[in-house]
């Protein structure tokens, strides 16, 4: 944590600091060696870090009373005979924790509350070796978010409803960074796009309505051959391998993903047809409609781009290094509904000097199969129309 600013004033006579303005801070030092260095106009950065038991602490909360220590109820708690609602935290030996609320002050609802000793005994029964009473009374509230995303009060606050609180403990789901990517008219990918905090995502499994779960390869599941301009329900599960080696299974998750409609280019074909010692030849095809607004399209390799002039053609990229592995992508930049977008093919990998047919999907087989399927559908439709005319 740090503050950074420029010195605008120095004083050796200030005894009290009041009314500090926003964006203003003071550096106080008794070190005479700093005096000559801290002249007006000098930019300084004041930085500090926590030490001792506080190293690595990101969040902290105050408490009222210790209840358990090393698995034993603290003897001095015997003095407390009052029954109160309680908000407590307990820690187990394995590092897991318990959040427990106890209702009270509502005898007609059979909610009387507990003493300190009774509260400690309940935490002990739940396997806790350390236990703490945060507070007791009308502030005791337990809230969860249900499957529909709505917040629900789980206990019976003794004031009759929730009230404003000075502090709370929040248990939140970490950002999993599982998103829909490369959305096109005929498909999309579901993939883990970025690292998470304190662990890694593994065993990502995804399915669409009525389908079967597919396991991610390289953190990605690809769906193609879908309908244009259609919304799909996506279901997915995953595991988190945390930094301690523990595996945490996520509950089922859902998201909605819509394929794009008219005005979006489609990559029908992108494959390598020939490779020599210093060149690679590609066959590609980009389909558009009357509403498509293409900005530019090119084949990207490394930090270079080979600009294309035709939507359906064969090109050769020369001047490559011999016996070197290259990765190629077909990239189309276009404008859709007022927004600039990028459509990218799968990666093709090719080593110069070797025969063509490197790894990577491109838009070869799958695109060709989809194209033939469309021809079949159109032909069948034409046959029906002709038959009806007879």
Whole-number CA gyration radius for the chain: 32
**Between 30 and 201, residue with greater pLDDT:** 201
Give all strands of the β-sheet with 128-135 in edge-to-edge order. 72-73, 65-69, 128-135, 86-92, 97-102
What is the Cα–Cα distance from 204 to 200, expressed in whole angstroms?
11
Q: How far is residue 152 from each of residues 146, 149, 200, measured CA to CA in Å?
A: 7, 9, 30
Which tokens go with 14? 């200030």
Q: State residue 33's pLDDT score.
A: 85
Per-residue model confidence as pLDDT tens digits over 257-272: 999 888 889 898 999 9
What gap in Å lies between CA 100 and CA 89, rounded to an integer? 6
For residue 205, pLDDT over 70 is answered with: yes
Q: Is 225 left (phi over 0), alpha (psi -120 to 50) or beta?
A: left
Residue with tokens 């025969």: 355
368 φ, ψ (degrees, to nearest 5): -65, -45
Q: Phi-psi region for residue 256, left (φ > 0), alpha (ψ -120 to 50) or beta?
A: beta
Question: Dihedral of CA 344/349/352/354: which sign?
Answer: negative
- Give, in degrees to the nearest 5, the angle at Cα 386 between 381 and 387: 100
Identical fold for domains 178-259 and 266-352, yes or no, is yes
The pLDDT score that the predictor gives to residue 34 is: 84
Structure confidence at residue 369 as a pLDDT band (50, 70, 90): very low
Calculate the average pLDDT of the chain: 87
pLDDT tens, position by position, 164-187: 888 899 988 778 899 999 888 889
| pLDDT one-digit tens code per residue, 96-113 | 999 999 999 999 999 999
CA 114 – CA 104 distance, rounded (Å)? 8
Token digits for 70? 């090393």
Q: What is the pLDDT of residue 378?
A: 31
What pLDDT sits at residue 29?
83
273-296 confidence digits (pLDDT tens): 999 999 999 999 999 988 889 999
Q: Report the percentage of the chain scoring pLDDT > 70.
A: 90
Looking at the chain, list the stretches that DSSP marks H as alpha helix, in order from N- to C-terminal side: 32-35, 116-125, 365-389
Residue 359 clears pLDDT 70, i.e. is over it: no
The pLDDT value recorded for residue 386 is: 31
The residues, ordered by sequence, that sit 6+ positions from 310 with a Cβ below 8 Å of its Cβ are none
Looking at residue 362, what is its pLDDT?
56
Task: Band the pLDDT of 93: cuts 50, 70, 90.
Answer: very high
What's the pTM? 0.50
- Count the neighbouring beta carbons within 10 Å of the beta carbon of residue 67: 27
Which pLDDT does position 216 carry in this prediction?
Answer: 96
**Does 195 have pLDDT greater than 70?**
yes
Average pLDDT for residues 231-245, to the nearest whole number?
92
Give 300's pLDDT tier (boundaries 50, 70, 90).
Answer: very high
Phi, psi of 34 (to 5 degrees): -85, -20
pLDDT at 175: 81
DSSP secondary-structure letter at 11?
Answer: -
Map residue 58 onto helix, strand or coil. coil
CA distances for 316 relative to 13, 231, 322, 350, 361, angstroms: 77, 39, 15, 13, 19
Whether residue 81 is predicted with pLDDT greater than 50 in this model: the reply is yes
Residue-wise pLDDT tens digits, 11-56: 888 888 888 888 888 888 888 888 888 889 999 888 878 888 888 8
pLDDT above 90 for 217: yes
Could you tell me if 129 and 93 are in contact, meaning their C-beta atoms sit under 8 angstroms apart? yes
pLDDT digits (tens, 9 = 90+) for 56-74: 888 889 899 999 999 999 9
Q: What's the pLDDT band for 249 if we cut at 50, 70, 90?
A: confident
What DSSP character marks residue 54? G
**What pLDDT score does 199 carry?**
87
In the predicted structure, residue 370 carries a pLDDT above the cut 80: no
Give domain limits for the chain: 2-48, 65-153, 178-259, 266-352
Superfamily grouping for domain 266-352? Immunoglobulins (2.60.40.10)
Q: Please state the CATH superfamily assignment of the domain spanning residues 178-259 in this structure.
A: Immunoglobulins (2.60.40.10)
């Amino acid at each position: 944590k740090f503050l950074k600013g420029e010195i605008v004033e120095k004083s050796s006579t200030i005894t009290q600091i009041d009314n500090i303005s926003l964006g203003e801070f003071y550096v106080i030092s008794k070190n005479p060696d700093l005096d000559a260095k801290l002249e007006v106009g000098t930019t300084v950065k004041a930085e500090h870090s926590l030490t001792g038991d506080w190293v690595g602490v990101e969040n902290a909360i105050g408490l009222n009373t210790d209840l358990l220590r090393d698995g034993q109820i603290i003897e001095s708690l015997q003095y407390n005979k009052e029954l109160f609602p309680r908000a407590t935290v307990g820690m187990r030996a394995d590092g897991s924790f318990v959040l427990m609320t106890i209702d009270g002050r509502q005898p007609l609802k059979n909610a009387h509350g507990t003493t300190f000793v009774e509260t400690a005994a309940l935490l002990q029964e739940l396997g806790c070796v350390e236990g703490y009473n945060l507070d007791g009374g009308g502030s005791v509230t337990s809230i969860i978010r249900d499957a529909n995303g709505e917040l629900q009060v789980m206990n019976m606050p003794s004031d009759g409803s929730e009230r404003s609180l000075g502090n709370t403990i929040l248990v939140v789901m970490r950002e999993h960074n599982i998103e829909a990517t490369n959305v096109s008219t005929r498909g999309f990918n579901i993939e883990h796009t970025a690292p998470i905090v304190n662990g890694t995502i593994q065993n990502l499994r995804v399915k669409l309505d009525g389908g079967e779960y597919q396991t991610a390869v390289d953190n990605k599941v690809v769906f193609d051959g879908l309908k244009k301009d259609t919304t799909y329900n996506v279901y997915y599960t995953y595991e988190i391998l945390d930094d301690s080696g523990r595996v945490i299974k996520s509950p089922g998750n859902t998201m909605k993903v819509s394929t794009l409609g008219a005005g979006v280019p489609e990559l029908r074909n992108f494959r390598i047809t020939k490779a020599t010692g210093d060149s690679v030849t590609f066959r590609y095809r980009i389909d558009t409609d009357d509403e498509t607004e293409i900005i530019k399209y090119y084949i990207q390799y490394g930090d270079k781009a080979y600009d294309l002039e035709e939507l359906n053609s064969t090109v050769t990229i020369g001047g490559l290094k011999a016996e070197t592995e290259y990765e190629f992508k077909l990239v189309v930049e276009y404008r859709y509904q007022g927004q600039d977008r990028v459509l990218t093919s799968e990666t093709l990998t090719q080593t110069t000097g070797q025969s063509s047919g490197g790894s990577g999907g491109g838009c070869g087989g799958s695109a060709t199969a989809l194209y033939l399927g469309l021809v079949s559908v159109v032909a069948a439709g034409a046959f029906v129309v002709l038959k009806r005319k007879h």
